[in-house]
Structure 1
Amino acid sequence: MNLTQMCHFYFEYLQIERNYSRYTIESYQFVIEHFMNFMQEERISSFRDVSYPAVRLYLTQLHKEQLSRRTVARKVSTLRSFFRFLMREEYVKENPFMLASLPKKELTIPKFLYEEELEKLFHVSDLNTPLGQRNQALLELLYATGIRVSECCRLTMNDIDFTIGTILVHGKGKKQRYVPFGSFAHDALDTYIQNGRKTLLGKANDACNVLFLNSRGKALTTRGVRYILSEMIEKAALSIHISPHKLRHSFATHMLDQGADLRVVQELLGHEHLSTTQIYTHVSKEKLRSVYMTNHPRAH
């Protein structure tokens, strides 16, 4: 097989055997194509000919591009997995990326919204219109549950249980989890489903079981969600950037600030490793320090 065929074979493996999402596979594809461009520049015609010195040269090129340590680590990790697959298929004899050390990641504290900022957002939608009802339900649910935007767009009417106030979330790697939601999200969802959603659904020729619909009655996309949130920021006249992930960060941070157990937050967020959730404790520690420095008479 040539390089392109081998890559296609690998992407099929990620989709079928590993259950990776389309977004994850596309990111892998981008990294491998970037490395193949490097191979072409260095006149390396086969994956078998990739040596450790070639890998070192590639890492030097990444450094010259002034990429973050996190980005470099992700590229190395992706290519290491790819060559591990090539070894399994007996296409190469060794994995040159196994010798490459991953750069230590910078500790980036997640950005979140303060409760006062969120409060302004919760009052910008016109609840007398179908789109306003949808936007309110979308915002309330994202903040109430901390789910990813991709998970939100996959929700169907069957995934909501109003009797016990939970949603069934279809997460990464086809893993499922139940996440509760509170009274504000309950009321916003109920209003949207009973009124606005029916109006939007009437604009489409075919029935759609997806929870959140666009103005044409079709399933709302992740890009659509980001656009809606940007519009809400403009209406609230806030000079901040908002994304669905920032609402997820806000959910986790506020939960921990109010004393929630770290493992409970891990379960709600759908994190596989506790270490991924622990980054939010740094935000809480920073808040504790800020409150201390502001209020303790001998802090200064």
Structure 2
Amino acid sequence: MQATTLQTQAERFLADLKRSPQTVRAYRADLRHLTGWLQETGHLLEREALETYFAVHSHWAPATRSRKQTALERFCRWALQHDLLDHDPTLHLEHPHLPPPHPRGLRREEIERIFAAIPPEQTRDALLFRLVFETGLRIGEALGIHVEDLDLTRGDEHLTVIGKGNRKRTVLLDDPRLVNALRRYLRTLGYTHGPLFQARKNGRGGPLRYQSVQERWQGYAERAGVVCTLHQLRHSHATELVNGGVSLATIRKRLGHQHIQTTLRYAEVSDQTADTEVRQWRRKNLGHRH
């Protein structure tokens, strides 16, 4: 496809595009930039030309390159459907490696709304999800806890978990509400050894499955009208710790991260927290000056 044809058909494609106005504007700019480069260099819309195009603009950030390539790929698929191309020149283009997105934690008020939607008789579910939220455990770690992994000695309540890489760590149970719920739950169990959280199917206990737990959580979240994945409970705990001034080294140990780089993803504190910290620093320094 020639550049002049691309320019004309791109507008038809954008008119058909079911996306937000912001996305349409971004795609229009991306396709116009490519069209201008094709016109300047005399290239056709072919795979070799596109490889050269992205190589020439290798200074683009991965996210920018990814967006531009996505716009082009969607245009080419549209053009194929409208018989404007006989093959897809983007088919074997290599996609840039994007860094993982910053984990998004929810505010405690939102999480508590979901907990409030759990029926009172579902004590096992309420305890499991509260445990994940208040400790930052991975859901697999929580499901793997045995009764004997708990130590509820007053003043030193903690549990032992086996995390990624078969690494054992001790997690402090410092939330009184969680500790009290654990004590009440243990009194209802008819056993002192074995999985802490068991399925109750046909009157027999067995290990809870991740998929089943995930479905139950999503049901409670929908009932509460809050969009929150099960894994976001862990993110929310980490975000609370960061915003509370807990050191990254401590957070790393609590969450069981092997590398500090993983923990650094949580280091983006909220604007409100950052502003409060700066104000405290300013007041402290002004006091010293006077």
TM-score by length of 2: 0.57
Match of 2:221? Answer: 233
Match of 2:30? Answer: none
Number of matched pairs:
183
Q: 1:103 to 1:192 in 2, by over 3 A?
A: same
Higher-Rg structure is 2
Match of 1:190? Answer: 183
| Equivalences for residues 236-251 of structure 1 within 5 A | 236=224, 238-243=225-230, 245-251=231-237
Question: Which SS does the other structure have where 1:178 is aligned?
Answer: strand
Partners of 2:266 and 2:271 lie apart in 1 by 10
Q: Is the 8 A contact 1:143 1:251 kept in 2?
A: yes
Match of 1:214? Answer: 199
Partners of 2:130 and 2:98 lie apart in 1 by 33
Question: Which SS does the other structure have where 1:228 is aligned?
Answer: helix
Q: Deviations over 1:46-80 (max 9, x none)?
A: xxxxxxxxxxxxxx9xx9xxxxx79xxxxxxxxxx
Match of 2:123? Answer: 133
CA shift for structure 1 position 115: 1.2
Match of 2:241? Answer: 255
Match of 1:167? Answer: 159
Question: Which SS does the other structure have where 1:179 is aligned?
Answer: strand
| Equivalences for residues 57-136 of structure 1 within 5 A | 103-106=96-99, 108-127=101-120, 129=121, 132-136=122-126
Q: Which runs of 5+ in 2 are unaligned?
A: 1-50, 55-61, 64-93, 278-290
Task: Give the AA of the match of 2:227.
Answer: I
Partners of 1:287 and 1:174 lie apart in 2 by 38
Matched, 1:224 2:216: no
Structure 1 residue ranges, 4+ long, deviating more than 4 angstroms after superposition: 101-104, 289-292
Task: Give the AA of the match of 2:176.
Answer: S
Task: Give the AA of the match of 2:221.
Answer: I
Q: Is the 8 A contact 2:107 2:236 kept in 1?
A: yes
Task: Give the AA of the match of 1:156.
Answer: H
Question: Which SS does the other structure have where 2:216 is aligned?
Answer: helix
Partners of 1:209 and 1:107 lie apart in 2 by 36
Q: 1:144 to 1:170 in 2, by over 3 A?
A: same
Task: Give the AA of the match of 1:188.
Answer: A
Q: Is the 8 A contact 2:114 2:226 kept in 1?
A: no
Match of 2:261? Answer: 275
Partners of 2:241 and 2:184 lie apart in 1 by 26
CA shift for structure 1 position 116: 1.1
Question: Which SS does the other structure have where 1:281 is aligned?
Answer: coil
Q: Is the 8 A contact 1:136 1:188 kept in 2?
A: no
